[in-house]
Amino acid sequence: MANLNAPPLHAATRPVTAVARYVASTLGLATFIGAWVAVTSLRLVPDTFLPSPLAVLAKIVELTHEPYAGSLLQAHLLASLHKFGVSYLLAVVVGVPLGLLMGRLRSVEWAISPLFELLRFIPPIAWVPFSILWFGTGFLAPTLVIFAGAFSPCVLNAYRGAKSIDKPLIEAAQTLGAKGWTMMSRVVLPAALPHIVAGLRVSAGFGWQSLIGAELIVGSTGLGYMIVQGESNLAPAVVIAGMVTIGVIGALIDYSMRALEDWIRRDWGH
Amino acid sequence: MAAYPNRQSTTSTRARRGASARRRVIAASCIAALLASWYLFTGPLGLITSIQFPSPQNAYDCIVQLIGPGYAGATLSRHVLDSTELVLLGFLAATLTGVPLGILMGWSRMAEAYLNPVFQIIRPIAPIAWIPLTILWFGLGTTAKIFVIWLAAFSPAAINSYTGVRNIDPVLIAAARVHGASTRRVLSQVVFPGALPTIFTGLRISLQACWMVLVAAELVGSFAGLGHIMIIATRDLNPGMIFVAMACVAILGVSLSVALARIERWAIPWRT
């Protein structure tokens, strides 16, 4: 009868011991890296196609003290982060209040949502040509693209957050005389915060990806520019080194936003 | 009761009808205002120059040129077919590989433990960042684009299939087992249909990712397609063509999403 008290088995699966999982995970990684090493060291593909993992590591180290495509790896990274930070902030500062307003005031919702629906289906990267025409090829060029990527998740989540607030909560605040700015800042914003922060995380991911896309096409600094230069110089080690950096930074951005989300969610008791 | 609907419900329907009428008026007037200011700013007022944004007339001329003699090496239909074909091929490849892999990872913990670390290493790299490497590998042709589209669409398809399988009520599987269903039967008649709604959620995300990455890849380097029109038009300082190509991208994106939603409704008739 011990079985009756056993923990329920997971849906589809047989239980696997922790050791077996650990071994399998290590094996998986080993297969991946082993295949990479084998392919490159057995000369199955030329160096101009795929460099070995060691060569990529060496390249990353080299890039930190020898400039490539005009600057060091750190400088490219800082340039990318700078562009990302400015445009992302802009998208949040415009998008979140707009979303909250759309959630609270029906006339704003009715006025904005048709335009919003029209623009939503244009991939952010498709704004690159107009951003070149409007802002030139300088530092500002990717701003519009990042903004286009980060804006709509901000708006949508703030809107959903404002819509999902308990009616009694709003009514209670109204009974106590809250309206306008007080209502927005003291009731709506805090209540919608968990939704908003979830939107900020999605936005950050889209924004980062859009930035890289924009830098591939326009600009003369940044990680995207660096890997595109690596491509035209037939230097796959530089390209992969750049991709690794992009991946690590993307993961870090996602991780910190997730931490923020968890923290807010815990504090706001949702 | 039906013959004498109570007063409250009539007023509320009337209120709702009034609200929806007001909604239409506001939405329509907003769009009208936008169109009017587009015409005024680019035309009579001249606040926006013709190399910043096209006037309606200019945009129309570009459409005519694109349909007739063509632009950037081909006519509109050729460009549209080219882009659509690449998206569909890449999306199909991602569906055929990502969904089975996700189901496998959801079904077998060992498979998950084996594959997950590699997956987690590759996933944070934005699919767009693969474009230069794929050009190095396969050149500017169709192979590179299909590969990068596949890459972009793969992980949403796989992750959602995985989640779908994991979220199936264990009781359902146990019930099927108790009635003597083989593993194959459980997979095909319990697990797969149970996970299907979540799988389709993943496919919808995949399709959007495909479309975005295709445009990026065509902007970076290509011989035809809507992104190709855009980049040639940028070089020619021809905002009308950029505008038309963007509109085509949006329209095609919507049509593909709608088509997928149709397929979803057909594949999951039990879901309302």
pLDDT digits (tens, 9 = 90+) for A150-169: 999 999 999 999 988 888 88
Percentage of chain B with pLDDT > 90? 46
Torsion of CA A231, A234, A240, A246, to 10 degrees: -20
Whether residue A123 and residue B212 make contact (CB cut-off 8 A), yes or no, is yes
pLDDT at A211: 93
Mean pLDDT of chain B: 87
The pLDDT of residue B97 is 95
| Mutation target vs A (from B83, B136, B137, B238; most A CBs, 10 A cutoff) | B136
The whole-angstrom distance between A182's CA and the closest CA on chain B is 27
Residue A241 inside a domain? The answer is: yes
pLDDT score recorded for residue B46:
74
Domain assignment of residue A254, yes or no: yes
- Rounded Cα–Cα distance for residues A146 and A155 (Å): 15
Contact A126 B246 (CB under 8 A): yes
Average pLDDT over residues B190-219: 92
E-state strands within A126-192: none
What is the distance in angstroms between the Cα of A212 and the nearest Cα belonging to chain B? 7
Instruction: Indicate if the pLDDT at residue A203 is higher than 90.
Output: yes
Nearest CA in chain B to A22: B113
Are the beta carbons of B30 and A112 separated by less than 8 Å?
A: yes
Question: What pLDDT was estimated at residue B16?
Answer: 67
Q: Do A239 and B117 touch (CB under 8 A)?
A: no
Position B128 scores a pLDDT of: 92
A21, A247, A254 ranked by CB distance to B113: nearest = A21
Q: Which of B108, B122, B199 is nearest to B156 (CA)?
A: B199
Contacts of B231 in chain A (CB under 8 A): 129, 217
**Nearest chain B residue (CA) to A236:** B133
Average pLDDT for residues A8-36, to the nearest whole number?
Answer: 77
Angstrom distances, CA of residue A261 to CA of A81, A207, A244: 21, 18, 25
Instruction: Output the CA–CA distances (angstroms, integers) from residue B268 to A151, A170, B106, B158, B208, in the order listed.
Output: 33, 39, 20, 19, 21
- Asked if the structure places residue A20 within a domain, the reply is no
Helix and strand numbers, DSSP H then E, in chain B: 11, 0
Whether residue B109 and residue A128 make contact (CB cut-off 8 A), yes or no, is no
Say yes or no to pLDDT of A182 above 90.
no
Share of chain A above pLDDT 70, in %: 93
Residue A29 lies inside a defined structural domain of this protein:
no
A256: nearest Cα among A61, A80, A85: A85
Q: Check pLDDT > 80 for residue A144.
A: yes
Model confidence pLDDT, tens digit, residues B218-265: 998 888 899 999 999 998 888 999 999 999 999 999 999 999 999 999
Specify the higher pLDDT residue, A200 or A219. Answer: A200
* Chain A from 98 to 117: CB within 8 A of any B CB: 106-107, 110-115
Q: In the prediction, which pLDDT does A208 show?
A: 93
- A9 contacts in chain B (CB < 8 Å): 170, 174
pLDDT of A11 over the 70 cut: no
Indicate whether A1 belongs to any domain: no
Chain A, window 238-257: residues with a beta carbon less than 8 angstroms from a chain B beta carbon? 239-240, 242-244, 246-248, 250-251, 254
Residues of A in contact with B126 (CB under 8 A): 208-209, 212-213, 246-247, 250
Distance CA A114, CA A61 (A): 50
Q: CA–CA separation, B181 vs B268, rounded Å?
A: 22
Q: Which residue of A has its CA nearest to B244?
A: A126
Interface probe with A: pick from B42, B53, B131, B172, most Cβ of A within 10 Å: B131
- Complex prediction ipTM: 0.84
- Which pTM was predicted? 0.85
Which residues from A are below 8 Å from B137, CB to CB?
49
Query: How many CA atoms lie less than 13 Å away from B75 in the CB half-sphere?
Result: 5
B140: how many CB neighbours lie within 10 A of its CB? 15
Number of structural domains (chain A) is 1
Q: How far is A217 from chain B (nearest CA, A)?
A: 6
B127 contacts on A by Cβ (under 8 Å):
209
pLDDT above 50 (res B2): no
Q: What is the mean pLDDT of chain A?
A: 86
Query: Does the distance separating the beta carbons of A118 and B166 come in below 8 Å?
Result: no
- The pLDDT > 90 percentage for chain A reads 43
Dist CA A69 CA A80 (whole Å): 14
Q: Does A28 touch chain B (CB under 8 A)?
A: yes
In a domain, A234, yes or no: yes
- Examine residue A169 and state whether it is found in any structural domain, yes or no: yes
Cβ contact, residue pair A14, B109, below 8 Å? yes
A103 has pLDDT over 70: yes
Instruction: Tell me what pLDDT residue A8 has.
Output: 46
Mean predicted confidence (pLDDT) in A164-185: 83
What CATH number does the domain containing A172 carry?
A: 1.10.3720.10
Q: Which residues of B touch A80 (CB under 8 A)?
A: none
Residue A10 has pLDDT above 60, yes or no: no
> Which residues in chain B are contacts of A107 at CB distance < 8 A?
26
Is B249's CB within 8 Å of A122's CB? yes
Kindly tell me if the per-residue pLDDT of A92 is higher than 90.
yes
Query: Range of A82's domain?
Result: 62-268
Could you tell me if residue A130 is inside a domain? yes
CA neighbor of B248 nearest in space, from B59, B50, B34: B59
Q: In this complex, do A236 and B219 lie within 8 Å of one another by their Cβ atoms?
A: no
- In terms of Cβ atoms closer than 10 Å to its own Cβ (0-12, 13-18, 19+), residue A167 is exposed
- Amino acid A98: pLDDT: 93
**Arithmetic mean of pLDDT, B176-186:** 89
pLDDT given at position B258: 92
Four-point Cα dihedral A77, A78, A81, A82, nearest 10: -150
pLDDT of residue B13: 64
Which of A128, A134, A258 should we substitute to test contact with B (largest number of B Cβ atoms within 10 Å)?
A128
Q: How confident is the model at residue A12 (pLDDT cuts 50, 70, 90)?
A: very low
Query: Percent of chain B having pLDDT more than 70?
Result: 93
Confidence of residue A14 (pLDDT cuts 50, 70, 90): low
Q: What is the pLDDT of residues B94-121, one digit of tens each?
A: 999 999 999 999 998 888 889 988 888 8
Residue B14: what pLDDT?
64
Closest in B114, B127, B174 to A28, CB measured: B114
In chain B, what residues touch A228 (CB-CB under 8 Å)? Answer: 132, 220
- Angstrom distances, CA of residue B214 to CA of B162, B220, B228: 25, 10, 10
On the question of pLDDT at B18 being above 80, the answer is: no
* Own/partner pairs, A47-51, CB within 8 angstroms, 24+ separation: A47/A236, A48/A234, A48/A236, A48/B136, A49/A236, A49/B136, A49/B137, A50/A236, A51/A236, A51/A237, A51/A240
Q: What is the pLDDT of residue B58?
A: 87
More confident residue, B177 or A4: B177
Tell me the chain B residues in contact with residue A29 when contact means C-beta distances shorter than 8 Å.
117-118, 121
